[in-house]
Amino acid sequence: MNRANLPLRAVGGLSLRVVGFNEHLAFFDENHDQMISPRESRRGLERLGFGTLLSAPAAFAINYGVAGLSLLQGRTLNPRNLALPSTGFVRHPDTDLVDEDGGFNELKLDEVFRKHGKIFDGVALTLKELVAMVTARIASDATRSPKNLLLLPAGATAVAVEWGALFWVAGSARRGKRVLERDTVRRFYTDGHFFHDVAQRIAEERVERSQTSLGMMRNILQDWVL
């Protein structure tokens, strides 16, 4: 999907260009062949700060999880080579930030953060608030239709992994607490370069840390775990 052809949604007076799933997934397409292998998923996760002990099983879970979810939605994907044009259509129950047409709803984003982000006045979610938000939305989606209830196990897992990973790789610090900023979530949904920017930031932090012995030890630990 070309950026020029992505739909626009006018919400609250602002026109936001919606990022297609394929644009985010393209970050993992290392050789640009429109296919994502488990190895490419692993290497992409490592660029986002996940060590080998986590990135290897996570890559397997991502590829096979997406393929399994696609079967429940009437599509067939090869987990050993996820095809970008097809994978981009896979959906799962989330926070209603994306509508049925794939449009981003900024008013819903603000509503979600106002409702659950109590500590930082709706501009950020702590881990506890994030868990509460995701749990509430999954429960709400499951009651809407029998189909959503059928998709609940796979969908709930996908939501937890997606938001948990977003919190970890793109979270920031506020008053000594790790939080997920509202603007970060907006960028995740509307900026096709989001993962690339996160990977660049992590690479720069690793270079800076390598200037000290403690930092070098942390980098080695990150190579294996986080």
Q: Could you tell me if 32 and 186 are in contact, meaning their C-beta atoms sit under 8 angstroms apart?
A: no
Structure tokens belonging to residue 202: 């992590």
- Residue 112, both tokens: 């979600």
Which helix (DSSP H) or strand (DSSP E) does residue 180 occupy? strand 177-181
* 133-183 pLDDT per residue, tens: 888 877 766 566 555 555 555 556 667 777 888 898 899 999 999 999 999
* Residue 10 φ then ψ, to 5°: -90, 110
Q: Which residue has the higher pLDDT, 10 or 57?
A: 57
CA gap 22, 190 in Å, rounded: 12
Q: What is the pTM of this model?
A: 0.74
Q: What is the pLDDT of residues 3-50, one digit of tens each?
A: 333 333 333 434 455 555 567 778 899 988 889 999 999 999 999 988
**Cα 197–Cα 201–Cα 203 angle in degrees, nearest 5:** 115
Average pLDDT on 190-194 reads 85
Give the three-class secondary structure for 138. helix
The reported pLDDT for the residue numbered 11 is 39
pLDDT above 70 as % of the chain: 72
Judged by DSSP in three states, 11 sits in: strand
Name the residue type at position 77. Answer: L
Q: In the chain, where are the structural domains located?
A: 1-20+97-192, 22-87+196-226
